[in-house]
Structure 1
């Protein structure tokens, strides 16, 4: 292993995605290939171990402890996955074991009390058998299962069914217990170290073999018939001990590296959170300095793209609080609201709509103070109409007009891919205020993805399901500011408080129309929207940079690890950077 090269580039790879997990797998990969510790020519070769295993199995057959076994057939060189050290030997897993079986294939009656513990896949963990939520079976049931599958302390337990297939542990329980068939039991001869076999079973080499054997659709599984013929490299007994000791030493180093990484991430998260808190609770006198510090330091405090989400929310929060751009003595929003009211009244008259009656606003309802010249109002006072799609299931058609559901708008953009179609005749029966048009805003009001706005930027005719609200903006407001407002934590928090239902959260139109909304003067709306666009573009660049950096670190890590198995040219490492 080229430790010097790895250490030289460590700082560049330490924050690579799953870096420590890759290192752990790499250590095990080196171990199974005989590249982790030096070979000693004086060690008794593995071929002698295979003879000892055969002798021990013959003795167990004679004693009636195991069934008669078939003498192993040597594995031809063309089947060898890779070359082993001279004194190692390739074998089949089943030929090495004195027993390979699994638990009961019929789930027996079990409960919180009983005579013997009943172990399933959920109890098998890397560090032993977890007894949390353990259930029990009767003595009669246990004796029937244990007659075929008799786990003892020191045996190996391997999950072979389901999503956790490949998790393997050494049985650390002293008492007998019963098992379900999702767990395989591997009993070893005395001349094989169970810790060595455990580590090799955890290696990428063995796991890849098992993944290739997996069958099933709903629940993937590995059968015992597949496990038995799996290829397994066997080192001399003395080297087995050296390998186990070296792996333990290196895994301890990985533990320390992982703890240090978690500590660094926690510190970064706290610093980034503290910086954003300073912005969200801004002191007008220190805001500019706080903002300058946060935006300047954020690239050093963020290492993951997901951390940018908090910054985006902070930007939107500052925007609707009047903290993002300076005020400039513009015409007050009170005059703007009068013009908006006239526009809404004219629309309602033209389309024979009843106007929404906004709830009275009292000072105790206001979540924060707004700058001079701003006004508080309700959403219904900013839109000509706030409605939703047809409440009756629409007819289907092979050709016609697009019908969008929540899944088509949750990304914040309209996606017509694979959408349903409705007949044109049906579409024409919908009133104009229930058919979205370019410049309208859609807002999800049902399900886990509620509270997401999407701007209609197409001239294409379409309609929507009732789970999507249609907001028709007035001409007198900045459309971009309205999008900022609807995407802000202020509106989302009100949406969350207004939802009804648990399995299917729903925002009714009446509370939606009455969400509180701060209104700045129109010129300031345009300045706010421009600043938000500028800062969101900064977030996009930072996010892209983090994604690219993570990819570079991962490629460099892969190159460094691969070099230890197949020596690479220095130029390949430079290219990875």
Structure 2
């Protein structure tokens, strides 16, 4: 790397202490209030410490990582590191903070701005290199402190660091304003899609016009349960199968999108023999409806592919009685029931929410005639299709904003941002 005049290439360990010990902590009283920062409190996108807590020093003195105002905390464990969890500690109670043992603490020495090194480690290139140097076992992979200490680091004069940080923050403020606008559009689209489903399943999507309101079901509609209109309700295997590199797709809650798509691009695989065994109890076919039932509850998808696959326990399989209900209508009405929290009383669990198969059969649904269901499906498909297209455009914009952020950082640490 060719650096501008006045810059020098050093290492992070030369200009900052990694996990420096504070010998004065032992002299402080246990009743001193300090800031406590769990991993979840660090926002991976903004780098802000959200909702920090106040603890007495005696509560956190042992078993947690100490840091001070101006230190940079950096998540060392997967997947928090890859997600970008890092922050500059500031406005700490009594200038002291404690957090997860999965943080590395980078303390800038004289001549280095904390915000400058913070933005440096926010680069995706730094995180990629950190990931390539993980140590430990699967699920417990961590970035060694030696990786950070030995990492090459471009150091400009302090005044130039100040100019670079100011320019980064100016550009990021502009980008974040655009991102906020895109996220407002996302939220509006989410509300719109929910309103479309509400109108559809309450009989108020009439003559191509969206009319929102409460009231009784329209004439010819009636209340039934899923069990009344399904020939089978089951779920996938309750045992984790043996995964293979190639084989039959194994679908779980992670492969069902909020738009009702079954995503085969990032699924696991099982052997044909195991699939055949599992298929005897749970046999997904075209026209069946999938419903996520553990953790993320209420996402639905209609099977429209001949691709054979098996299911995990967190996804239910519902076989509609086609002479009573159309698959798309069933998927829409179930999705809205969970979005609107109408089915909240049927959900169990505290730490992890779930809905059992028996409870699924008891879910109430408004049932129009098949002709009306067909008309509703056409209307909903058209409206949600437009919303999905707009969402895709918004998503492209958000990804572009992310790339621009990284381009700004790359330019900054090559000495080109303020040139």
Which range, TM-score by smaller chain?
0.5 to 0.7
Counterpart pick for 2:354 among 506, 511, 515: 506
Instruction: After TM superposition, list the pairs within 5 Å mapping 1:218-297 onto structure 2.
Output: 218-223=141-146, 226=149, 230-234=153-157, 240=159, 244=162, 261=177
Residue pair 2:292, 2:314 contacting (<8 A) in 1 also:
yes
Cα distance in 1 for residues equivalent to 2:395 and 2:275? 48
User: 1:565 maps to what in 2?
Assistant: 416
User: 2:194 maps to what in 1?
Assistant: 313
Looking at CA atoms only, which structure, 1 or 2, has the larger radius of gyration? 1
Cα distance in 2 for residues equivalent to 1:178 and 1:516? 49
How many residue pairs match? The answer is: 380
Counterpart pick for 1:454 among 292, 298, 301: 301
User: 1:418 maps to what in 2?
Assistant: 268
Cα distance in 2 for residues equivalent to 1:82 and 1:230? 11
Shift, 1:473, TM fit: 1.8
Residue pair 2:11, 2:149 contacting (<8 A) in 1 also:
no
Shift, 1:430, TM fit: 3.6
Cα distance in 2 for residues equivalent to 1:504 and 1:248? 42
Deviating more after overlay: 435-444 vs 207-216: 207-216
Shift, 1:534, TM fit: 0.7
**TM-score for the superposition, normalised by structure 1:** 0.49
Cα distance in 2 for residues equivalent to 1:253 and 1:389? 51
Unaligned runs of 5+ in 2: 136-140, 209-213
Counterpart pick for 1:324 among 172, 193, 205: 205
Counterpart pick for 2:30 among 103, 108, 113: 113
For 1:488, what is the secondary structure of its paired residue?
A: helix
Cα distance in 2 for residues equivalent to 1:532 and 1:257? 37
Cα distance in 2 for residues equivalent to 1:504 and 1:551? 31
For 2:316, what is the secondary structure of its paired residue?
A: strand
CA gap of 1:384–1:554, structure 2 versus 1, over 3 A, is closer
CA deviation vs aligned residue, 1:261-293 (integer Å, no higher than 9, x gap): 49x95xx7xxxxxxxxxxxxxxxxxxxxxxxxx
For 2:371, what is the secondary structure of its paired residue?
A: helix
Residue pair 1:114, 1:138 contacting (<8 A) in 2 also:
no
Cα distance in 1 for residues equivalent to 2:98 and 2:220? 75
Greater share of strand residues, 1 or 2? 2
Residue pair 1:94, 1:228 contacting (<8 A) in 2 also:
yes
User: 2:328 maps to what in 1?
Assistant: 480
Cα distance in 2 for residues equivalent to 1:112 and 1:516? 60
Counterpart pick for 2:367 among 505, 519, 530: 519
Residue pair 1:317, 1:488 contacting (<8 A) in 2 also:
yes
Shift, 1:249, TM fit: 7.4
User: 1:288 maps to what in 2?
Assistant: none
Cα distance in 2 for residues equivalent to 1:178 and 1:473? 54
Please tell me the root mean square deviation across aligned C-alpha atoms, in Å.
5.8
Counterpart pick for 2:117 among 196, 201, 204: 201
**TM-score for the superposition, normalised by structure 2:** 0.64
Query: 1:406 aligned to 2:252?
Result: yes
Cα distance in 1 for residues equivalent to 2:311 and 2:95? 62
Residue pair 2:346, 2:355 contacting (<8 A) in 1 also:
yes
Shift, 1:380, TM fit: 2.0
Counterpart pick for 1:133 among 27, 50, 55: 55
CA gap of 1:384–1:505, structure 2 versus 1, over 3 A, is same
Query: 1:376 aligned to 2:223?
Result: yes
